[in-house]
Amino acid sequence: MYPLVYIDKKSHIECRLAINRVLDGAVSSLLSAYGKYDTRFIVLVYSIKEYFKEYTELTSYAITLMTLHYLQTIRVLPCLQILSLSKPTVEIVNDKDVYYEKKLDKVREYMKKTYSTNNSSVGELFIGFFIYYGFTFDVFVI
């Protein structure tokens, strides 16, 4: 089933409404958690999407995953699906394990102990995204 798509005429923001797509809801919840963990993720995804509107046919989802991968590579964001800082759980939706660590305070504590804090500005991350995918990234699958 394909989602309904609405584009606001003033802001040109695209909104997709999916019905009975439980797995999509789990993915949206995960991406929302990344945005709550670090708001630079939201701003960077939006900025990169705006830039790519002029130059490519990449989907919004592809750009979001590319941004997530980049930010995990440079240790701005953790991999919430792998971390099990609270009670490890399995959450199955449509035969897929959609578990991720939801206690973001524990994730922040873990990241502070394990990695140095990345305080790069959104502008620096934006430029870094293009350097990463233009010169460093040598794999064709994320």
The model carries a pTM of 0.75
pLDDT of residue 19: 64
Tokens of 93: 């939706």
DSSP secondary structure letter of residue 39: T
pLDDT of residue 106: 85
pLDDT of residue 40: 96
Q: Residue length, the chain?
A: 142
Nearest to 71 by CA among 133, 15, 10: 133
Structural domain spans, the chain: 4-136
C-beta atoms surrounding 126 within 10 Å: 17
Pick out the chain residues at pLDDT < 50.
none
pLDDT of residue 63: 94
pLDDT of residue 18: 64
pLDDT of residue 113: 84
54 Cβ contact list (under 8 Å, min separation 6) = none
pLDDT of residue 103: 83
